[in-house]
Chain A
Amino acid sequence: MWRFLVPAGILVALIAFFFVGLFRDPSYVPSPLINRPAPEFQLPQLQAPSAVLGSADLRRGEPVLLNVWATWCVGCREEHAKLVSIAEQGLIPIYGLNWKDDRDAALHWLERLGDPYVATAVDADGRVAIDWGVYGAPETFLLDGDGTVRYKHIGPLDTQTWEREFMPRIRALRDGRT
């Protein structure tokens, strides 16, 4: 009896593993930054290169988003309208990190498609992006009021992700502080 049950059990377990694996995204790598302080940085701003945007500016006592984008990134184009609409509704302040991009192209992009960012930092050589563990734009980080990373989304931000993943967390962070 066991001679058949044991191999059959192993087979069922294997099939279960493979089946779950079918629906997991291998390009998604969980960030070790979650629940850790946001990496420090000091970078020139896109619109005003002489002004600095740093990690201290992200600690505002309220949740903020940091969105990593570039004009060469297709997914960024895809999510841009969503970011603009979030900014227009005043749901949360959004900061930009312009990653390895051409400054003129980036300025032109914001002019043409709208600028959802409170301010955008320019990471021309990608050094700061390494500290943030960025490996594929667009990436969106949710920081709490103390500047701790609470959530990271990799890939274009759509309405479904926003409603499911971001809004509940943002509400919880705000409730926790009052």
Chain B
Amino acid sequence: MRALWLLLPILVLLATEAGAIDARDPFDDPDKQARYERLIREVRCLVCQNESIADSNAPLAADLRREIRSQMRDGVSDDEILDFLITRYGDFVVYRPPLGPHTILLWAAPLLLLAIGGFAFVRVIRARAGGTLDDELPPDSRPEDGVLGDTQDAKGSGQQ
């Protein structure tokens, strides 16, 4: 019983969460309603920029939700709806902007940072293993070459 009372605040919180999405005028088709709810989470509310239009109570967000619902009723595809918004509000209106000259750095940044980090990681590990950076020594005198070769061989034979 006590556990049930503890659940109550959680239920209240969930209720407000559900209320943020327009409860009125839902789609009869649950698949379509799910598609709609997924779509409005992709769109940024430009008034309160860290909220999607699904979460925002701004009048503009309500207008955009209504617009998306009406376009979905007309059979417009998700991509066309997002394009519609991008041509009016710019790439920033969607949380996953299309790849282009403006956004290439944004999309490439994770890989770029991973590559830089990986490069630095390898350098540091090698320097620690050998006590020095390998490019400061002639290639044949790298102390770690033999060690790495051995472990790779061992691994390879172990898997076969």
Contact = CB atoms under 8 A, between A and B. Distances in A.
Contact of A133 (B59, B63, B88, B91): B88
Given A130-B63, A130-B64, A136 B90 contact: no
A174 interface: no
Size band of the A side of the interface?
Answer: 10 to 19
Interface string B37-63: 000000000110100000000011001
Interface in A12-69: 26-27, 29-33, 39
Contacts of B49: 26-27
A127 interface: yes
A111 interface: no
A33 to B, nearest CB: 7
B115 to A, nearest CB: 14
A100 B60 CA distance: 10
B19 to A, nearest CB: 22
A162 to B, nearest CB: 24
B27 to A, nearest CB: 20
Interface string B47-87: 10100000000011001100100000000000000000011
Contacts of B60: 126, 135-136
A75 to B, nearest CB: 13
B92 interface: yes
Contacts of B90: 29-32, 133
A32 B88 contact: yes
B47 A136 contact: yes
A126 B89 contact: no
Contacts of B87: 32
B86 A135 contact: no
A32 B46 contact: no
B83 to A, nearest CB: 11
Given A29-B90, A31-B90, A135 B46 contact: yes
B76 to A, nearest CB: 14
Contacts of B63: 100, 125-127, 129-130
B93 to A, nearest CB: 8
Contact of A130 (B86, B88, B92): B88
Contacts of A27: 49
B92 A29 contact: yes
A135 B59 contact: no
A33 B46 contact: no
Contact of B88 (A30, A100, A126, A132): A132
Given A29-B46, A29-B89, A100-B59, 20 more contacts: A26-B49, A27-B49, A31-B90, A32-B86, A32-B87, A32-B88, A33-B88, A39-B88, A100-B63, A126-B59, A127-B63, A127-B67, A129-B63, A130-B88, A131-B88, A133-B88, A133-B90, A135-B46, A136-B47, A136-B60
8 contacts: A26-B49, A27-B49, A32-B86, A100-B59, A127-B67, A130-B63, A130-B67, A133-B90
